[in-house]
Chains A and B, each alone.
Chain A
Amino acid sequence: MDKNIYEPIRCTVTEVVTESPAIKTVKLKPVKEFAFLAGQFASLTVPGVGEAPFTPSSSPYDREKIEFTVMKAGRVTSAIHNLKQGDIVGVRGPYGKPYPLDYYKGKEILLVGGGVGLAPLRALFFALMETVENYKKIVFCCGAKTPEDYIYKDRILDQWHDFCDKFPLSFRITVDKKCPDWKYGEGVVTKTLDGLDVDIKNSVAVVCGPPIMMKFTTLKLLEIGYEDAQIYLSMERKMYCGVGHCRHCLIGDLFVCKDGPVFTYDQLKGKPNIWV
């Protein structure tokens, strides 16, 4: 008998971490193994409230637990923020196409993330670190509105920097508006793309963040010499089914759920209202 495509896997909330005033990470333990690849997403059900799609922010190599970093923005995300340890939720997926890591082999990888957009990039970063010998260089550009809005602070600003000594990895960190004890850059995330030490011809840029940030980052990347097909964008749309049936997530003829959620800019160019 065919599988019921809408049946979620039951998961127990093991921990809820407050990342910033508007963003929390929920850590889940699924009753059975949940495997996904970096860039793929899953649908998270809060029983009786609703369901919404999120890209896990945990390592794809850890199949025992799964983490979602969620900004409080509406009905379902508010319910997610209210979750407590021991609560039951449902997860179904994974859906969509992952980042093409095989294709990234031998390349210099530029990651550009803003705000809660750092969540999918965290999963990608874990995956890249597992296979770090495959890539020539990794440059991770991170932005947030203020230091208070930075998520994964302990990792981005601290823990992950240990990797920089061992691997060709560097971070470029900024906030739109700094506070007195902030020792990193100030300015929107596109500023971190000035003076990049990257061999652009042999590079891919992976961008994730709010639409306005993705738009201006894309324009900046094109300006500094990236081609349309070298720019990978994580698209977000209202979504229900996740499997290409309900048509809510269409960007023109492209389904965010099954053709995406990661698209290259040349796939998206010319489609209606891509920057929302």
Chain B
Amino acid sequence: METLYISKKDWDSFIKGKCAGNIIFAPFENGSSLFYGKADAFNYADIVYDRARPVEPLRMFLLPFRERVVPEPEKIPDIVVMGAAACDLKGLEILDNVFLKSEYKDQNYAKRRNKTLLISFDCLAPYPTCFCELVGVHPYPEAGFDINISLSEEGILADVGSEKGMAFIGNDQKFFQASGEQVKKREEQRKKTVETLKESNRSYDFTRIDRMKGLSQTELWKVPREVENCVQCGSCTNNCPTCVCFLLEDTGNSEMLKKNKVWDSCLFPGYARMAAGASPRATLYDRYSNRLLCKYWYMVENFGIKGCTGCGRCIAGCIGKIDKRAVITEVLREKR
């Protein structure tokens, strides 16, 4: 992989130039949080490079809340998404497994995936809710991007991860080969971020997370007291980079069958309830635990990788203020 150097000023004007003729989404500050917004020739300098993941998961660009699947969907445009964090890119591995590497390929997803250029960022200031290091993900992207940006005081290091990324840079003369010294400095910066994350997650123990397999007993999930604070709002699933559950909605008539794919949440009581009213996940504890078991057991069996990338959005967005890290630590301790 090629690593290039460009000054921050030159990068800004490079992006300004790209705003003409490209649809670019990037993280902007709104309140104290980062939200994706459309970048243009007026706001390009406000793009935030030195924080962590935005509020919205990357998947919202690839799996819209509601999309038509029958008949064929509308035209899907090419877009550039800047600012995805390593946790979000890792999440795409799950999405790719579900929608592309399946016997049945999801056409909409395949098209959107193909038409999205990903410019990821190193995390420089993780949030207290971030815990990627607990699940084996690092706060800097190593794969899955077209271009990755590492900002430092000196400027920007840009890793080029694909031909698409290389084509985006083109023959812009402001990019130079990064020096060994610059790459080394970045390693140190990255190590520091890792240390910050390890420190902020010191009180949680995920060392035996593989033992989540089989822990579906309702009673066990009553042990961590905070689980009862779950109001089943679906915030955790909506914010998750790997939650893929959807339902199909029929809106057509006998002349024209129409179907939409709409996000669903396994926290909703109706999610698994069958026609006659029986539900295999009848209690709150079954539904709450199902989401975690899906991430740390089912997806591991299904795809060989964990469904949790440590982005912490489910903790940050929880109305019941449930810290999943504490719940998992307690459940694993209980089962020791």
- In the bound complex, do residue B274 and residue A45 qualify as a contact, i.e. CB atoms below 8 Å apart? no
Given contacts A243-B104, A252-B297, contact A52 B278 (CB under 8 A): no
Contact residues, B283-310 vs A (CB, 8 A): 286, 290, 293-294, 297-298, 300-302
Residue A17, interface by CB 8 Å = no
For this complex, into which size category does the number of interface residues on chain B fall?
35 or more
Closest A residue by C-beta to B68: A6
Given contacts A245-B99, A248-B272, contact A10 B244 (CB under 8 A): no
Residue A148, interface by CB 8 Å = no
With the chains together, A241 CA to B261 CA distance in Å?
9
B77: min CB distance to chain A, Å: 19
- For the complex, count residues of A whose C-beta is within 8 A of B: 47
Indicate with 1 or 0, residue by residue over B320-336, a CB within 8 angstroms of chain A CB atoms: 00000000000000000
Q: Which residues of A contact B253 (CB under 8 A)?
A: 47-48
Q: Which residues of A contact B216 (CB under 8 A)?
A: 252, 271-273
Given contacts A2-B105, A243-B102, A273-B280, contact A90 B301 (CB under 8 A): no
- In the bound complex, do residue A50 and residue B250 qualify as a contact, i.e. CB atoms below 8 Å apart? yes
Residue B107, interface by CB 8 Å = yes
Residue B69, interface by CB 8 Å = yes
Contact residues, A23-63 vs B (CB, 8 A): 45-52
Indicate with 1 or 0, residue by residue over A1-27, a CB within 8 angstroms of chain B CB atoms: 010111110100000000000000000
Residue B41, interface by CB 8 Å = no
Most chain B beta carbons < 10 A, residue from A4, A46, A90, A247? A247
User: Which residues of B are interface residues toward A (Cβ below 8 A)?
Assistant: 69-72, 98-99, 102-107, 110, 214, 216, 244-254, 257, 259, 261, 264, 266, 271-276, 278-281, 286, 290, 293-294, 297-298, 300-302
What are the 5 A-B residue pairs with the smallest beta carbon separation, nearest first? A74-B275, A272-B216, A253-B301, A73-B275, A243-B104
Contacts A7-B70, A237-B280 aside, 11 further interface pairs with beta carbons under 8 A come to A4-B70, A4-B107, A6-B69, A6-B259, A8-B257, A51-B248, A244-B104, A245-B104, A248-B271, A251-B280, A270-B214
